[in-house]
Amino acid sequence: MDAYDKGSGAQRGQDGPAGPDGSDGAADSTETGGSAGIAEATGAAEPTEVTEPTEVTGSAGSSVAAEGAAQASGADGADGADGTSEGAVATAPEEAGPAVEGAAAQPPAPRTGVAALSPRYQVGAVVALAVVAVAVCAHIGLVFLHVAPSNTLTKQHGSVVDEWVFPEFEQNWKLFAPNPLQQNVSVQVRAEVSTAGGEIRTTGWYDLSAEDGRAIDGNPLPSHTQQNELRRAWDFFVASHDSEDRPVGLRGALSETYLRRIALLRLDRHDAAGPGGVVERVQYRSRTTNVKPPPWSGEKVSDRPTLRELPWWSVAAETGGADAGRAGREGGAA
């Protein structure tokens, strides 16, 4: 009995519940371990609570975390598993850090526009832009001199300005003040025709202005000739003739020739001469009507049209030249 009293491990082993599959072995292990086994288990679990190694990165930090997790799992399986997962989560950002910091710098963005060209082509682009800029400035300057009041430059170099501006870039004040158009002018023409039977007949009046108006109305891109050919030709004639329809200078004769050719072209479109007929003479007339002023102006103008009838003009020079040219072409073809 005394021996059993002195051996605390044996007595306690007998008192504990015996398992069917050898609980005695478990009791023996407890006896041999004692307090030293408890201290050893506590020491193995302690590294999981120390957080100082979390600053260590790379493979060394991973090895330390893995070793601490393995030692902790020997004493407490659940706590060891938690420690291992926490260590892995804690070291994952540290492992990714050095990889991001050591990444190579991104290449610079590619050049665009003129900067992307070679030096040779850059020089060519600069020269082209300079030429365009000089041409635009010269055009603006010439147009400005054309519309500006008479000055020293226009008196000395007026011919150069006119050659550049006319006819495509002409500027005038007829749409706005000081002299907007206040009249509607209708230009009409008729002809004397020599028929195939030798008779002379006179056609009716063809309203050329009305024809141009119908061609322009509703057309988003009307022809330049439909808009300006007849109007400019009539303005040219009026400006170069006196009130008796007599030409003033050489430009007066030129304006008459211009109107005769326009008349022949328009009459040919309508087949005014008929089969075998020939246009011998043409006659122009104009019908001018004042534009009604707005009701609030109080201005009074006449609404009666004014007619201006020109003398008959022979077109033998124009038709003779055309017949001679036609005969020459036929002879050359033969």
184-213 pLDDT, tens digit each: 999 999 999 999 888 999 999 999 999 999
The highest-confidence range among 51-60, 145-154, 206-215, 217-226, by mean pLDDT, is: 206-215
Q: What is the mean pLDDT of the chain?
A: 74
Asked whether the predicted pLDDT for residue 130 surpasses 90, the reply is: yes
Q: pLDDT grade, residue 71 (50/70/90)?
A: low
307, exposed or middle or buried, with CB in 10 Å at 0-12, 13-18, 19+? Answer: exposed
Q: Read off φ and ψ for residue 21, nearest 5 degrees.
A: -110, 35
**Under 8 Å between Cβ of 307 and 285:** yes
pTM, to two decimals: 0.49
Q: pLDDT grade, residue 181 (50/70/90)?
A: confident
Determine what percent of the chain is predicted with pLDDT higher than 90: 35
| 42 vs 126, residue with greater confidence | 126
- How many helices (H) and strands (E) would you count in the chain? 11, 6
pLDDT value, residue 192? 95
